[in-house]
Amino acid sequence: MLDLPCSTEVNQRVTKEKLYANTNLTPQLRDIIKNQIEMVIWRNKLASSTFNVSAGKTVDEIQVFEIQLRQCSLDKRVLPAIVKAIPYKILFILTFEKEVQAWMEVQDIFYNTEWVLRDGFVLKFDGLNLDVVYENLMRQLAGDRLDLGENFGEAVNQDVYQRKIEREITALEKKMWREPQFNKQVELNSELKRLKKELK
């Protein structure tokens, strides 16, 4: 599916019990994993010893986990719980029937592709070291959320800030429509305009 070298292949099933043992999960989240996930397979390990690139300054290894789902969605708390338990960068490949979706995390933000047919799913693993491979993967998953012209760290920081402004705008819009006093609506609208201008 990812067309990675044989040297990177692991192809080991990760039992749910192992996930439970290595992650700090609430009973509710354990039930969600049990109900939503069919199987987890550790597909590949990208490291200087398995992949024809050198280790990066911040990225030593990238693990590829395939998560076979029982439905076309996964609770948003599951992947962060797995990431916290494993000290490496993880490329998650979610699969459901004939469709595939990729997820990866940077600075506690997950970026993902759309659901696509397995046959049309392509990711490029380009770079001379694992830092660059990771950055290139993140940019593919993020689409236009990460500015291609910027340094990767700066692009991520800008997106984090943009998401914060977007959340503030959403909260302010809700507050404005609930506010009964006209003069306060005007104040909130003024702040809303300022935030929208900043977002642009």
The 10 Å CB-count burial string (b at 16+, else e) for 106-121 is: beeeebbbeeeeeeeb
Q: What is the pLDDT of residue 189?
A: 81
Q: What is the pLDDT of residue 116?
A: 94
SS3 88: coil
Task: Check if the beta carbon of residue 105 is closer than 8 Å to that of residue 79.
Answer: yes
Express each pLDDT in 29-75 by its tens digit: 889 999 999 999 999 999 999 998 999 999 999 999 999 999 999 99
Count, residues in the chain: 200
Distance CA 183, CA 33 (A): 49
Nearest to 103 by CA among 131, 74, 128: 74
Distance CA 61, CA 88 (A): 6
**Which residue do the tokens 């550790």 mark?**
42
Cα 1 to the chain's mean position, in Å?
A: 19
Task: Check if the beta carbon of residue 32 is closer than 8 Å to that of residue 75.
Answer: yes
DSSP lists the bridge partners of residue 42 as 12, 65
Q: What is the pLDDT of residue 188?
A: 81
Q: What is the pLDDT of residue 48?
A: 94
In this prediction, the residues of the chain whose per-residue pLDDT falls under 50 are: none
Distance CA 9, CA 4 (A): 8
Nearest to 93 by CA among 57, 60, 68: 68
Domain ranges of the chain: 6-145, 153-199
Distance CA 79, CA 104 (A): 9
